[in-house]
Amino acid sequence: MEVDSDKKRSLRDIESDLNYFSTEASKITRNLVLLGFGIIWVFKEQLQNSLFLKISMFLLFLSVVTDLSHYINQTLKWDSILKQAEKAGKKSDDLISVPKKLTKWTERFFYTKIVLGISAYILFIIFFTIHFFL
């Protein structure tokens, strides 16, 4: 496992991150359901005829799924690192090396969900411009 020597974390910090990411996964799941109902309810008539809205809704869905996957992935990774360190006898305040692979995946998830979300809103803007202003 490749290690990023500049990123050392205490077990307490890792455990805190683990709790944070698992909590966020629950929040995002709830938001995903509410977002889906909201978009369908507000634009239910336009959804039948607008490719822009259908694609926007799909991109928003993918963005939220990517966000959720990001938190689930981080939860599993930090949990694994925490368990390995505890087995090795590390204490809560001990610094350990964070695998470089973990930070690369974090960045990939982050940028993917941002690009998907921005793309969806660009399509929303196109839809609203065509539908309401032209």
CB-based contact 125:53 (threshold 8 Å): no
- pLDDT for residue 86 is more than 80: yes
pLDDT at site 22: 67
Across all residues in the chain, what is the average pLDDT?
79
Percent of the chain with pLDDT over 90: 0
Give the pLDDT of residue 63.
85
Per-domain residue ranges of the chain: 3-133
Distance between CA 58 and CA 61 in Å, rounded? 5
What lies within 8 Å, CB to CB, of 91 at 6+ separation is: 11
Segment 43-63 shows an average pLDDT of 80
Q: How confident is the model at residue 91 (pLDDT cuts 50, 70, 90)?
A: confident
Q: What is the average pLDDT across 59-85?
A: 87
